[in-house]
Each structure stands twice: as C-alpha cells, then as structure tokens.
Structure 1
Amino acid sequence: MGLEIFKKKWENFKQSKIQPLYSIKKELIKRSKDRAKRRLDITDLSPKDRTLIHHIQEQTREKNRNNITRTMAYYHYYCRHPEVHWAFLGHMVSRNGGWNMTDLKGDLLSRLLTEKEQQNYFNFLERGNWLIFQDVFPQFLLYEESVKRQTKLFYLLPFFHVSVFMETIWNHFWDSRDCYLLAIALVINEQSYLEQRVIQNPFYQETVLQTIEFKLQDLLSLNQIIFPCEQKDEKSFEKAPLLIGQTLHHFASLHERILLGKRLYALLFHRSEVLQSVSQWAAKHVHTGSRKDYWPHLFNNVNESVPGSAYQQRIEHCKLRPGARRLYSPALVHVWNDMEHEEAEKGDWFKDWRVLYYLVNQNENVDGEITHAYCKTLEKIERAIMAQEKIFPLKS
C-alpha cells in the first residue's frame, strides 16, 4: 500500500511539523460523524443562502461547457485569488487535458486509432475533466463569497455534494492560510473523487483502460504533463518556450496520481522564478487546445499534410526535418463538440483519515526536465505510424 510509506514518514517527522495535521484529523473524524447524522434540506437554509447555491450552480454550469471554458475559468479565478494555488495548477494540467483531446484528431494519433477508439478516449478525458470542475469550482466560488462577506460559508459545501474532507480543509485554511496544505488537499480530493467515477468505472475500464492501455502509456502521452515556460534570449527576444513537467508511469494507480500532483505542485510553486515564467507564458497564451499554443515551430492548427499520402518522419531532436511540414494540432472547438454529461454520481469518497499522510510536506526537489523525453515520444509515435502503414492499414 502506497499510504504505508507516508505513514512511516509521518511518524518520523517532528511533532511541530505534523501537529496541524493531528488537529485536522480530529476535526475530520468529528465532521464525518456529524454529517452522517445530518439531514440535508435546502428549505432549512435562509433565502440568501438558497440564492447563493443557485447562483454558484449556474456559474459552474456555464463555465463547464468544455475544456476551453473550464481551463480558462481556473486561470481567471487564480488571478483573483492567487492564494488558491490549485487553481493555477489545475489550469495548467487542464491545458494538458485539452492537448490530449486534440491529439486524437491531429496528424499523429488519428493515424493509429480508429474513429471509435478516438471517441471512446475523448469521452474518457472529457468526463474526467468535467467531473473535476463540477466538484471543485463550487468550492472556489463559495470561498470567494466567504471572502466578500468576511465569514465562513463552508457549511454549504454538502449541498454541492463536496466531500467532508474538503469541508474540513477549507475551514482549516480559513484560519491557517496554509496555501500548500489546501493545494495538496485538493489534489487528494480530486483524484480520489475520480477514482470510482472514472478510473474504476466498468464502462471506461472496458472501452478505454483495458482495451488500449498500452497505447495510453506508450503513444498518447497521457503520462507526460508539460508546462511551457516563457523565456527570452540575451537581447530580450522571445524564444520558443522551454518545457518542464513530470511523467506518470502508473495512470491507474490513485497513489501514483496523487504523488504526481504533489510533484507538479512542487515544480510550479517551490521556486518563484519557475512560477513566474510559467505564469508569464499562460498570461500571453489563451488556451485553444492546439499544441501550436506553445510550439508553433512544430505544430500548426491548419492541416499542412497532403491527404492520402504515406507518413514520412518529420521530427528530429525537437525540430522539423528539412522540408517537413508542421504537425497538425487543431483547436479543440474545431474537432470536438460540447458533450452532454449525465449528472455526477453521488457519494463521498472519504473513508480513511490516513489520506492525511499525503499532506506531509517533504520539501522535495523536483527535476522538471522533460523536453528530451517529450520529443522522443513524438519520434516514437512517428515510427509506430510508419511501421503500421507498412504492415497493415488502419481500419475504422
């Protein structure tokens, strides 16, 4: 069990570092018992609270139309509340989700996957992206309203079906202003929230995870999360952004996904110069879903390929080979329609207080170098396409 590792580290930490987590544990257990006994009835609330709930639901629905709207909603919220670090982390990870979605219709993966596989995988990505937003954005808006009113409103979180874990954490954050703890708690919450609803969902197990799992890991770059960094040369001319990021090796593991979230947080927020360079890039580039957003020297949102022609290798050492056309990476709105979602499954994921072990700050130094690995992935996909075209054509 991955949690056992953190249990040992918990026990080895000095009392001064983990004391806040003991108080959270006590409060979390108490709130869990209270919520189990509580009867939720919106008619028991004041008219002002009922109006607020309706307003937050409408705002969340409006911003949750597609990957573009939700990704930019995270960014604009972070600009208003930079103390909520997860909003920027979520923005950057959601950008990656959009790039993965458009990859399915781009120059490379559309040659390897059938139309049905493309649709199934898009549904999988979109459902996860949608579920996270509809869970976390009401939390953000309720915190924002709490700030405006200068009073805690987190007693309303159960009416949005938010876990008792986050109700406890938001109340703690209001008093402590511990930005790290809130961010990692949100990482734990969102990944745990997805576990039964998406990762362990029999439908997605059958249509995605079990049928094309090898493609997810080796071909789709689902395991590589990249953050572009704004950079300039010595003459202050803009250069193609440097890429930093992390690789996930076991996507189906909740433990590994939480650890990835912690590493990505450390990569963004432990060094001010990194946060500044990624923030500067994000401010200058509205999210479209096209990888042209960060590397226009390799990608274009206009298809430059000759229809029906055999694929020829185009990329070598992160550059186009002489005479090669850029890779087609479309804007999301041009290749995927907005999706109608079924209502999110009810139920609180929180069962074991030991998830608090993940909140221990280990102050790890994360190496974010990923450019070489990412470019090697692109080259590997190209070789797979050429091999497939020689051996057997893709059948839809």
Structure 2
Amino acid sequence: MFNRMCEACLMFCKRLRARVLGFSNAAEIREIRRQLDACLKKGPRQPADPAALTGADRALYERIQTETKRLNRNNITRTQAYWELYERVPEVHWALLAHMVSRNGGYSMTDLRGDLLARVLEGDEAERFFQFLERANHLIFGDAYPQLLLYEASRDAGRPLFHLLPYFGVSQFMGIVWERFWETHDSELLTMALVVNEQNFIEHRVVRHPKYRPVVTSFEFAAQTLLNLTQVVFPYESPSATPEVQLAGVTVDTFLSLTERIDTGRRLYAILFGRSEVYEGVMRWAARTPHTGSRSDYWPHLYTYKAPQESPKRYHPRLNGLFLKKGASPLHSPHLVDVWPDVRDPEPADGHDWCGTPEAAEELFGTKPASGFNITVAYGKTLALVERAVATETWWAEEKHNRE
C-alpha cells in the first residue's frame, strides 16, 4: 500500500510539473484516454492467433518475427538494429533514444567484468546482474522492434497495417497510439508512448519478477542507487570542449520505481531532441563509433578494451579528474562479446497486456530539456567515488586475508 501511495505521489508531481511548464499535450492525451477507455470497457481482449493469418499478412508477420529474432541475439545486435532503423525511419525518434540507452545497457553489462566492479562482486553476483540486464533489454526489443518494422512496412505500403499488432502480442495501448501517430505524425507523443509501454512491459516480467528479486534487493543494487551511481550517458562530440567527447544525460534516482523510469526516458528524450548541440553531437559520434559495449568507445583516453596482463586484487586509484594520473594504466572496460556469451533459447514473454486502465494515457506528457544536461564533470566525480570505494574494499579484503 505504501509503495502504491509513493508511486501515486510521484506521478502527480511529474504531471503537475508538466502542466506548469505547458508541455502536457493535454488535448491529445484526452483523446487517447477516451479511445483507451472505450477499448477497455469491451472487456479483456482475446490473444490473436498468428495461425489465422493468410497471404500477405502472414508473410509480413513471419518476416518481422524472423528479423526480430535474428537481431535480438545480444546487446550489440540490438543496439545496431535500433540505429539502422532510425536512419531509415527518422520520424520514429524512439529508435535513436533506444539506441543510445541500449549502448548504456552494454556498458553496464561490461562493467560487471571491468576493472572496478569485478573486484568487489562475489561469487555469481555478476552473472545474476547480467541476466537481469539482458532479460530486460531482450524483452523490450522483442516487444518494440516488431512495432517499428510494422510501421516501416506501413509507410512503404502507404497504408496503416496496425491491425497486425495484436498478433505480435503488442498492448492495445500502443495500437491506439500508432493509429494516432499515422494521423498526427507527433514524434514526441509516440516516443513517450513507447517509453511508457516498454517500462510497463518489463515491470512485472523482470523488475518485480520473483526470479530477479535477489538482484534488485541486493546490497550492491541499493548502494548504486543511494550513491547516485546509475547515470545514463549520451556521448556527443563537442570539438571546443575537453575532452572532445562530452557526456549528456541524467542520474537515475531509483530503478525500482516505474514512474521514475518513465520520467527518466522523458528527460532523456528532451535532452536528445530538445538540445541541438546534443542531437548533432550524438549523431556525429554514433555514426563513426560502432558499439562494442566498452566505455573506451567514448573515452579511449581513460578506458581500454584490452585486458591487463596482470590484475592485482588490491586496487589503487588512477584518476586525476577526467584523466589518468601520470603513468597510470587505463581502466579495463572489455568488449561485450569477450566477456558475455549470447543467452541461448531465452524464455519468451507471456501474453499478458499490462494496460488495464485508461490512466496509462496520463503519462504521455513531454518536458523541457534540463539546463544541466551536461554531466561530464558529475560523471568524473562519480567515477572517482567508485574508485575510492573499490580501493577501500580491496584494501580491507587484503588486510583481512593477511590477518587470517
């Protein structure tokens, strides 16, 4: 009960802020809410059976399913797929947002095997963290990418093909929004709908799923949240700055709150598409920088994907601000394919439609980009904090071992 009350208060505050700023898209939200309410009053929708499809619909369904499965192999293939789709269909802003957020997912995965976290994680903790991250990213891609391909097919055909969405298990919430997007071409509203949809999609399938509760309630997860270590960064070229690749982004206060995760997506979208210097810098950087999962993709002066020849258990800080101390070796941030195998035959998502109330439409408001969008210095301070924590932990472990 307390958690639900907190979520309701958070949601109210976010909406109030949007209305004060005048970015609530009130008329469009009311229309989508009206249509969603009408659909929900008809009762639970029966699952659509793909076996009933014939002709061109069947062929398109099978092509999209095959392509989605092929590209949902790992974080690298998913991230590249989002980028290529945005290049083909730039009106779908969410594809670029997903590409940049997916890059961060890869960084989080390789951090588990990198120079810092790997020294303090015990036993199979890293494996459990990876499975949590991979599951969430896999499910989001499996739900969203067919929608993107279906829109692309609709655009190529010159007519909406959204009657096929139920066959992919897509929420009726998104069916309504895609039909509206076909009429209004409102890229911001579509982006917010996809953010709301995907975060709700993983809420009970991953975040609150009993299998992953030990991960999200672990000390390490809580510590990362409390110490503001969960930063989502968008590298962007800024030739007049030092370093030349700057970091835009936000700090995620808590991953456990659905409202906060949605608001994080809202704020990231506002920064990416509301600040021309960020958008243009991101596009230049992403176009020339293939995603590997290593943080050396954006800061090779600080990180290296090459594994060290030897890695003593005790860690000594190496940073001097945003750069290395003289003579210090770069932090190891490996390529994802070198440290994590593909997950074979992952469990499919259940067919449950998360949307059971028209209130879902109330989250479809936008926001202004934050003035403090550049978090380059804040990221450096956070990294220094992590360094000190790891150095202390490894020193204590060494002292304890010596006493024994």
Q: Normalising to structure 2: TM-score of the pair?
A: 0.90
Instruction: Pick from 274, 281, 287 the counterpart of residue 277 of structure 1.
Output: 281
State the Cα deviation string for residues 346-390 of structure 1 (Å, max 9, x = none): 201112222222222343544212112211222122212221222
Partner residue, 2:255: 251
In structure 1, how many angstroms separate the alpha carbons of the residues matched to 2:298 and 2:125? 27
Q: What residue in structure 2 maps to residue 62 of structure 1?
A: 70
Tell me the CA shift for residue 34 of structure 1.
4.7
Q: Displacement of 1:313 after TM fit?
A: 1.0
Alignment of 1:28-107 (within 5 A): 28-34=36-42, 36=44, 38=46, 40-107=48-115
| Structure 1, 106-115 or 26-35: larger mean CA deviation | 26-35
After TM superposition, the score normalised by the length of structure 1 is 0.92
The residue type paired with residue 258 of structure 1 is: I
1:3–1:357: 8 Å Cα contact kept in structure 2?
no
Partner of 2:383: 378
Separation (CA, whole Å) in 2 of partners of 1:14 and 1:383: 43
What is the SS of the residue equivalent to 1:212?
helix
From 225, 232, 251, the counterpart of 1:225: 232
Deviations 1:89-147 (A, max 9, x none): 00000000000100110111110102400000000000011010000000001001101
Q: Give the CA deviation at 1:220.
A: 9.2
Determine if the alignment matches structure 1 residue 139 to structure 2 residue 147.
yes
**Separation (CA, whole Å) in 1 of partners of 2:145 and 2:44:** 24
Shift of residue 3, structure 1, vs aligned partner: 2.7
The residue type equivalent to 2:383 in the other structure is L
Q: How does 1:163-174 map to 2 (within 5 A)?
A: 163-174=171-182
- Residues of 2 paired with 1:114 and 1:14: CA distance? 48
Contact 2:119 2:313 in 1 (8 A): no
2:353 pairs with one of 345, 348, 357:
348
Distance 1:65 1:12, change over 3 A: same
The percentage of aligned residue pairs carrying the same residue is: 42
Measure the CA separation in 2 of the matches of 1:97 and 1:302. Answer: 20
Q: CA RMSD in A?
A: 2.4
In the aligned structure 2, how far is the partner of 1:11 from the partner of 1:90?
A: 26
Paired residues in the alignment total 391
Q: Structure 1 residues 14 and 87 mapped into 2: Cα distance closer, same or farther (>3 Å)? A: closer
1:360 aligns with 2:365: yes
Q: Aligned to 1:178, which of 166, 183, 186? A: 186
What are the ranges of 5 or more consecutive residues in structure 1 without an aligned counterpart? none
Question: Cα deviations across residues 167-215 of structure 1 (Å, max 9, x unaligned)?
Answer: 1100000000000000011111111111101111111112443353234
Residue 387 (structure 1) aligned to one of 385, 388, 392: 392
CA gap of 1:117–1:34, structure 2 versus 1, over 3 A, is same
How far apart are the structure 1 equivalents of 2:32 and 2:349? Answer: 27
Q: What is aligned with 2:3?
A: none
